[in-house]
Amino acid sequence: MPELPEVETTRRGIERHLVGRRVTALTLRRPDLRWPIPADELEALRGAPISAVRRRAKYLLVDVDAGSALLHLGMSGVLRVLPPSVPAGPHDHVDLALDDGRLLRFTDPRRFGCLLWQPTGVVHPLLAGLGPEPLDAAFGGAHLFALSRGRRGPVKPFLMDQAVVVGVGNIYAAEALFEAGIDPRRAAGRISLARYEALAAAIKRILGHAIERGGTTLRDFLNPDGAPGYFEQELFAYGREGQPCRRCGTPLRALRLGQRATAFCPRCQR
């Protein structure tokens, strides 16, 4: 599933093509993705200038005066700005035609993504209750420390809880815990403030660097221009179980936490 850097890369890629443009037509080739697409509500996009393209957690919001089209890429979704001459394929489910003759196309082979509507002044239920953005100044070690008190569960699922902090998925949680030297199995409530400060700093550095490098190349992810991301080659933990640790040479161990695969170094992470 595309994580925060991939979604932010997509946002930056489409923003310059959408802001200031007007939607002239909406083409829905199926009535639903993960959930039904509210075609009637999305008609509010037609003719309205797009004022912004924002990201909240792993959701993208395309803003007009009346509200926002709310998109999630799911496991395999891709957004691209294309000329209208490009024929739609079997998984090209949504087109937003723009007043400059181009279109924004939403491709989603697995259909776990979504296209919904959020009226102005309303917070969609999918966005309600989300934690802070990891790159915002409001997020830091003190925030993680305060929320972790009394928690006996492992720190990695705690870090991936979207009510704690948004957008830290499996890949970047594994990488941040490795950089901070924290065992992913350690109880969240047994980690000190100093270690949480190191963990928050690692999250910010790794996510920021991944965004600069274009995200992590996975099987389903491509940038809006069709180019892959370039962060995968720099991974220290995720997907490297059984391989030697890049720091100490110890083979990385594998386990499952919160139903997610986890790789870590039993020597470097305590």
Average pLDDT, the chain: 92
110 is in an annotated binding site: yes
Active-site option among 56, 58, 80, 240: 58
Residue that is last in its domain, among 119, 152, 168: 119
- Number of domains within the chain: 2
**Residue 250, in any domain of the structure:** yes
The string of pLDDT tens digits covering residues 2-61 is 789 889 989 999 999 999 999 999 999 999 999 999 999 999 999 999 999 999 999 999
DSSP state of 225: T
Whether 2 is a known active-site residue: answer yes
**Residue 128, in any domain of the structure:** no
The answer to whether 234 and 171 are in contact (CB under 8 A) is no
**Does residue 160 share a domain with residue 97?**
no
**Residue 49, in any domain of the structure:** yes
> What pLDDT is stored for residue 213 in this prediction?
81
**Does residue 256 share a domain with residue 165?**
yes
The string of pLDDT tens digits covering residues 68-95 is 999 999 988 999 999 999 999 999 999 9
151 is in an annotated binding site: yes
**Residue 269, in any domain of the structure:** no
**Residue 158, in any domain of the structure:** yes
The answer to whether 160 and 168 are in contact (CB under 8 A) is yes
Active-site option among 2, 5, 134, 224: 2
Q: What is the mean pLDDT of residues 143-163?
A: 97
Closest CA to 80 of 52, 107, 101: 107
**Does residue 243 share a domain with residue 179?**
yes
80 is in an annotated binding site: no
Active-site option among 46, 102, 185, 260: 260
Whether 119 is a known active-site residue: answer no
The string of pLDDT tens digits covering residues 206-223 is 999 988 887 654 444 455
**Does residue 145 share a domain with residue 96?**
no
The string of pLDDT tens digits covering residues 223-266 is 566 655 545 557 899 999 999 999 999 999 999 998 899 999 99
**Does residue 243 share a domain with residue 201?**
yes
Tokens of 183: 């065992």
Closest CA to 257 of 249, 247, 269: 269
CA distance 117 to 124: 8
**Is the pLDDT at 267 greater than 90, yes or no?**
yes
pTM metric for this prediction: 0.89
Residue that is last in its domain, among 119, 149, 178: 119
- CA triplet 226, 96, 66: central angle to 5 degrees? 125
CATH of the domain at 195: 1.10.8.50
**Residue 244, in any domain of the structure:** yes
Closest CA to 194 of 145, 133, 131, 136: 145
**Does residue 156 share a domain with residue 259?**
yes
**Does residue 112 share a domain with residue 37?**
yes
Q: Domain limits at 207?
A: 141-264
**Does residue 87 share a domain with residue 21?**
yes
**Does residue 172 share a domain with residue 72?**
no
CATH of the domain at 96: 3.20.190.10
Helices (H), the chain: 4-18, 39-42, 141-148, 155-159, 170-180, 193-213
Whether 3 is a known active-site residue: answer yes
What b/e sequence results for 3-32 when a residue is b if at least 16 CB atoms lie within 10 Å of its CB, and e otherwise? bbbbbbbbbebbbebbeebbbeebeeeeee
Tokens of 204: 């910010």
**Residue 107, in any domain of the structure:** yes
CA distance 96 to 67: 16
Tokens of 217: 């190349």
The answer to whether 266 and 259 are in contact (CB under 8 A) is no
**Does residue 146 share a domain with residue 259?**
yes
Cα four-point dihedral sign 88, 92, 93, 94: negative
**Residue 41, in any domain of the structure:** yes
